[in-house]
């Protein structure tokens, strides 16, 4: 039966390469292997696209073999449906996963679904034991994207209620960490230091504070951070550095949650789902639960492993796309009609 299909999925949109296998109504994870390139790119202070794509090419066979080993399946048993990230992302990295997956689909004569990366992040919450009830508001925050999205039902349609007008929240974390000399990945470094700091030492502007405006802007916050770092003349050390990170992180989290909870209020939807790599941030997670309870909003938090880029979320989104939109057993699907990102 179609709803019992096993899905073999590939994620290669950036520097992480992942292969996953799921089954049982598209929610049971049999394997979810992630190969990280953090050590490779750390010396450059960020992802180098050409290096990332070359490493994907070298690793694809091994990561697939590991996923099959963990799931205790052979390739034909695992791949009744293939899902693969089709974008957005780094073009070279995307092509590695896409062409590999398409070749397997042709060789095995199985259907393949191209998955929008952001839709996959939204689908990650479905893989938890307590999947969120629809409709819900999703706060999708990553290194390249910051959106508030109304999700009417699984598989869409989706309505974008607010987006960043310039930089994403994750980029603000990473660029500020680089200015502080904290290395890569910067968001994680700020999160760790912030847990040792106290708020109230540094004043940051609240970006786009308008009550009814659900858009974001983080470029001014980055500028404020740069100016504070410059004016500190190298004095941001030890506890001062931790306090700086706590104030900076707290300002970002305040902004994200204030607008997300406002969206829940405006649309009378008392459910909020966090998605994307920044949803692994400890302050965002703890404050979302606390403020959600104060506002009467139920907050769903995917595990940290499912927030960052992984193929299990791609498999789930592919399963949903196949059952929502497939009209036949065609090999290839075009862009999903209910997702309004380019």
User: Per-domain residue ranges for the chain?
Assistant: 2-123+307-325, 133-301
Rounded to a whole number, what is the largest CA-CA distance in the chain? 66
Tell me what pLDDT residue 2 has: 54
**How far lies 333's CA from each of 20, 104, 225, 291, 322, in Å?**
20, 15, 44, 40, 9
Q: What tokens does 278 get?
A: 């920044």
For residue 195, pLDDT over 70 is answered with yes
Burial of 140 (0-12, 13-18, 19+ CB in 10 A): buried
The CA distance from 92 to 58, in Å, is: 13
Band (pLDDT 50/70/90 cuts) for residue 280 is: very high
Which DSSP category does 293 fall into? H
Band (pLDDT 50/70/90 cuts) for residue 143 is: confident
Q: Which long-range contacts (CB under 8 A, 24 or more apart) does 99-105 make?
A: 100/10, 100/60, 101/10, 102/332, 104/8, 104/75, 104/79, 105/79, 105/331, 105/332
Backbone CA torsion sign across 197, 201, 207, 213: positive
The CA distance from 148 to 335, in Å, is: 21
Q: What tokens does 182 get?
A: 């904290």
CB 52 within 8 A of CB 15: yes
User: Left if phi > 0, otherwise alpha if psi is -120 to 50, otherwise beta: which for 5?
Assistant: beta
Band (pLDDT 50/70/90 cuts) for residue 211 is: low
pLDDT higher for 232 or 258?
258
For residue 178, pLDDT over 80 is answered with yes
Helix (H) or strand (E) holding 9: strand 7-11
pLDDT higher for 38 or 34?
34
pLDDT higher for 167 or 342?
167
Mean pLDDT of the chain: 90
For residue 107, pLDDT over 90 is answered with yes
For residue 270, pLDDT over 70 is answered with yes
Fold exhibited by the domain 2-123+307-325:
Nucleotidyltransferase; domain 5 (3.30.420)
Tell me if 2-123+307-325 shares its fold with 133-301: yes
pLDDT higher for 119 or 324?
119
* Mean pLDDT lowest among 7-11, 26-30, 292-296, 309-313: 26-30
Q: What is the CATH number of domain 133-301?
A: 3.30.420.40
- Rounded to two decimals, what is the model's pTM? 0.91
Band (pLDDT 50/70/90 cuts) for residue 135 is: very high
The CA distance from 282 to 212, in Å, is: 27
pLDDT higher for 74 or 183?
74
Q: What is the DSSP string of 87-148?
A: ESS-HHHHHHHHHHHHHHHHHHT--EEEEEHHHHHHHGGGGSSSPPPSSEEEEEE-SS-EEE
């Amino acid at each position: 039966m179609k709803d019992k299909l096993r899905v073999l999925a590939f994620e290669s949109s950036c520097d992480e390469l992942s292969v996953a296998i799921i089954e049982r109504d598209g929610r049971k994870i049999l394997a979810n292997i992630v190969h990280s390139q953090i050590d490779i790119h750390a010396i450059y202070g960020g992802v180098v696209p050409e290096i990332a794509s070359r490493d994907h090419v070298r690793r694809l066979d091994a990561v697939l073999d590991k996923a099959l080993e963990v799931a205790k399946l052979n390739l034909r048993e695992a791949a009744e449906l293939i899902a693969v990230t089709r974008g957005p992302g780094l073009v070279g990295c995307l092509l590695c996963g896409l062409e590999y997956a398409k070749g397997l689909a042709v060789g095995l004569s199985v259907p393949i679904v191209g998955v929008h990366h952001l839709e996959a992040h939204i689908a990650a919450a479905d893989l938890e034991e307590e999947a969120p009830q629809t409709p819900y508001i999703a706060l999708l925050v990553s290194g390249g994207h910051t959106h508030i999205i109304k999700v009417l039902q699984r598989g869409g349609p989706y309505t974008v209620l607010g987006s960043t007008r310039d930089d994403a929240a994750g980029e603000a974390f990473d660029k500020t960490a680089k200015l502080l000399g904290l290395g890569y990945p910067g968001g994680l470094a700020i999160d760790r230091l912030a847990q040792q700091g106290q708020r109230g030492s540094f004043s940051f502007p609240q970006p786009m504070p308008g009550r009814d405006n659900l858009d974001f802007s983080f470029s001014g916050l980055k500028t404020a951070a740069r100016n504070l770092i410059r004016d500190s003349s190298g004095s941001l050390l030890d506890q001062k550095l931790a306090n700086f990170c706590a104030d900076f992180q707290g300002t970002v989290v305040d902004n994200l949650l204030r607008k997300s909870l406002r969206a829940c209020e405006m649309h009378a939807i008392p459910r909020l789902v966090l998605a994307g790599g920044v949803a692994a941030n400890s302050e965002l997670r703890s404050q979302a639960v606390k403020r959600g309870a104060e506002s009467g909003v139920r907050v769903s938090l995917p595990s940290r492993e499912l927030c960052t880029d992984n193929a299990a979320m791609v498999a789930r989104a592919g399963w949903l796309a196949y059952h929502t939109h497939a009209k036949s057993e065609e090999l290839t699907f075009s862009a999903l009609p209910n997702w309004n990102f380019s």
